[in-house]
Amino acid sequence: MARTKTLARCSACDRTEPRWMGRCPGCGAWGTMETEEVAARAPSRAPRGPTTAAPTRPALPIRDVPLDALDRAPTGLSELDRVLGGGLVPGSVTLVGGEPGAGKSTLLLQAAYALASAGRTVLYVSAEESPGQIRLRAERLGALADRLYLASETELPAVLGLIDAHKPDLLVLDSVQTIRDPEIGGGAGGVAQVRACAATLTEVAKRLGMATVLVGHVTKDGSLAGPRVLEHLVDTVCELTGERHHALRLLTATKHRFGSVGEVGCFQMTGAGLVEVDDAGRLFVGEAPDGTTGVAVTLALEGRRPLACEVQALVAPTRLVNPRRVASGLDGARLDLLVAVLERRADVSLKDRDVYASSVGGARLTEPGVDLALCLAIASSRRDSPVPRDVIVLGEVGLAGELRLVAQTERRLAEAARLGFHRALLSAAYTGDAFGLSLDRTRDLTEALAVGLTVATR
Ligand code: TYD
Ligand code: MG
């Protein structure tokens, strides 16, 4: 009989200890240690040096290795396919993460429906909702197809049984944190469980050539639960993000073995599910009429996708000793810094003013390329002088008030021209193509404000 020993494992950080403790010494969490039986290591023998074995296959010169043909199955959702580099690869395992309510189940049900309508067999296993609930949602989405099978299971062997019975081309498991392997200790959602279930399903997926999508809930601190234990196991990691109060959802891939990462899929959550937004170019630009002060438009790169984004600022008199600096959708520390640079380097007096700054449409603008647009919006509000609506503003602002070139300026300008902007205000360091735009090259903030705020009246 195999010898076993008892071990305590933390379900939060996976640390093991020889005995149970109330508090995990690894992550400090209380009550997360669980005991489990593991095989004791065989008594060590005297060292003999490493043993060699015949290789299963000889190593080949790289040019002689046959190419694996990637036969991608388009999901029918072009924005999802864009992120996946063309579609789901048979035998691949994809982890789709996102906060509860982001729309993961909706997205995957729509993809499952599209694939099933295209003649593939899809098995959608939900451990969170009953088939009746999913059917109800499918009715609403108009997602009823003959080859789309629904099941509600929480035990891994039952899921494997379903796979055996249906031999699906695509398996969707919603979610990986609610499924349990009875042979492993601990509750569903623990590290050991998540890892074991995902490993088994990955092995099955590769063996059957079945594309598999695992849904994973993101914990509050932003990590994919089962603390990143799945990321090395799966082929692709995608995340669906969006602000609770906005309809826009962005799908990005952070790891992709069958293509590049950096593509972004844009969707809008509507009453009829997620609708693809093919041209997201002006989604984050408001409808303020020409002549409105305190607004400037920049071109941000979300992943590799250029998006025009409006930055708004409101400067208002205050009686507070410490005036308020409030940023929404923008970096608060960066706002403080730029307010200081505006005061010291560009003669914009803000010391007895509150400054509110925000992005439009729920965009989160954190790259430094947004600096100049933010400065211009603030100065525009302070001086009551509008920035013309057809100007795109690009530039990072340094502490000396100097303007720096933004990465991939050419791509941004090309997109700005495509979206119908006529002028661009940017660093003098730019020497590339103008793409038909009239370029205002400026060296520092003072110059940029002079050009950006007076163009309308020139
Ligand atoms: P859901 O897909 O269940 O999110 P997740 O699986 O990521 O937790 O749905 C998220 C939200 O979307 C939910 O609050 C309801 C809303 N919703 C719509 O607005 N329209 C729709 O057609 C559907 C199906 C959901
Ligand atoms: Mg869900």
CB-ligand 1 contact for 273 (6 Å cutoff): yes
Backbone CA torsion sign across 450, 452, 455, 457: negative
Single pTM value for the model: 0.74
Question: Is 90 exceeded by the pLDDT of residue 161?
Answer: yes
Q: How far apart are CA 284 and CA 174, in angstroms?
A: 31
**Ligand 1 binding pocket mutation candidate from 269, 274, 275 (most atoms within 8 A of CB):** 269
CB-ligand 1 contact for 137 (6 Å cutoff): yes
Question: Is 50 exceeded by the pLDDT of residue 456?
Answer: no
Ligand 1 center from residue 268 Cα (angstroms) = 11
Q: For residue 318, with 0-12 CB atoms within 10 Å meaning exposed, 13-18 middle and 19 or more buried, which class applies? A: middle
**CA–CA distances in Å: residue 34 to residues 10, 31, 38, 377:** 6, 8, 13, 55
CB 275 within 8 A of CB 103: no
Residue whose Cα lies nearest atom 15 of ligand 1: it is 101
Question: Is 60 exceeded by the pLDDT of residue 222?
Answer: no
CB 233 within 8 A of CB 202: yes
Give 9's strand partners: 16, 34
Ligand 1 center from residue 178 Cα (angstroms) = 18
Question: Is 90 exceeded by the pLDDT of residue 311?
Answer: yes
CB-ligand 1 contact for 98 (6 Å cutoff): yes
The minimum-distance atom of ligand 1 relative to the CA of 100 is 8
Question: Is 70 exceeded by the pLDDT of residue 458?
Answer: no
Which of the two residues, 303 and 74, has the higher pLDDT score? Answer: 74
CB-ligand 1 contact for 397 (6 Å cutoff): no
Q: How many CB atoms lie within 10 A of CB 374?
A: 28
Residues with Cβ within 8 Å of 76's Cβ and at least 6 positions away in sequence, in order, are: 111, 114, 115, 117, 118
Packing angle, helices 104-117 and 131-141, rounded to 10 = 70
Ligand 1 center from residue 135 Cα (angstroms) = 14
Ligand 1 center from residue 96 Cα (angstroms) = 15
pLDDT tens figures, 350-362: 999 999 999 987 7
Residue whose Cα lies nearest atom 12 of ligand 1: it is 103
Nearest to 409 by CA among 428, 386, 390: 428
CB-ligand 1 contact for 101 (6 Å cutoff): yes
Residues 168-179 have a mean pLDDT of 93
**Residue located via tokens 């109800």:** 136
Q: How far apart are CA 94 and CA 271, in angstroms?
A: 27
pLDDT tens figures, 107-130: 999 999 999 999 999 999 998 889
Q: How many CB atoms lie within 10 A of CB 227?
A: 16
* Residues in the chain, total: 458
Question: Is 70 exceeded by the pLDDT of residue 198?
Answer: yes
CB-ligand 1 contact for 109 (6 Å cutoff): no
Residue whose Cα lies nearest atom 13 of ligand 1: it is 101
Instruction: Considering only the C-alpha atoms of the chain, give the largest distance between any 2 of them, rounded to a whole number of Å.
Output: 91
CB-ligand 1 contact for 106 (6 Å cutoff): yes
Residue whose Cα lies nearest atom 22 of ligand 1: it is 273
Nearest to 134 by CA among 153, 155, 115, 159: 153
Query: Which pLDDT score is estimated for 227?
Result: 47
* Beta sheet of 295-302, edge-to-edge order: 325-328, 353-359, 305-317, 295-302, 391-393, 423-427, 438-442
- Mean pLDDT for the chain? 88
